[in-house]
């Protein structure tokens, strides 16, 4: 999360500062706006990172549950097959 927050802050700072200078603002005004943009960008990236992490964990949990269910079903099939083979007259 710290990495995402730093990355978001850096990207926001750089882009807001460059855009501020390109539209003709003074360097001090562009720096002030870029600082505010860095905080906002960092918080935004952190929020998106938390959502992404939560979704990845949920996906992995669902995959694990599906694999467990498939293994249980395969075991049940094996038991049924063994039971049928034992019950058939030869």
Taking the C-alpha atoms of residue 20 and residue 24, their distance in angstroms, rounded to an integer, is 7
pTM of the entire structure? 0.69
Q: Looking at residue 69, what is its pLDDT?
A: 94
Please say if the pLDDT value at position 88 is more than 70: no
Q: Looking at residue 50, what is its pLDDT?
A: 95
The pLDDT tens digits of the residues spanning 37-68 come to: 999 999 999 999 999 999 999 999 999 999 99
Task: Say which residue the tokens 């905080």 belong to.
Answer: 39
Distance between the two ends of the chain, CA-based, in angstroms?
65
**How would you classify residue 24: left for phi > 0, otherwise alpha for psi between -120 and 50, otherwise beta?**
left
Average pLDDT over residues 71-87: 87
Look over the chain and give the mean of its residue pLDDT values, rounded to a whole number: 93
Task: Parse the chain into domains and list their residue ranges.
Answer: 2-85
Cβ atoms 29, 19 nearer than 8 A: no
């Amino acid at each position: 999360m710290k990495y995402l927050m730093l990355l978001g802050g850096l990207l926001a700072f750089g882009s807001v500062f460059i855009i501020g200078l390109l539209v003709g603002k003074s360097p001090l005004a562009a720096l002030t706006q870029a600082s505010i943009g860095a905080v906002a960008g960092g918080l935004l990236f952190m929020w998106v990172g938390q959502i992404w992490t939560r979704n990845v964990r949920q996906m992995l949990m669902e995959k694990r549950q599906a694999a467990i269910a498939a293994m249980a079903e395969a075991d049940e099939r094996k038991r049924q097959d063994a039971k049928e083979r034992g019950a058939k007259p030869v």
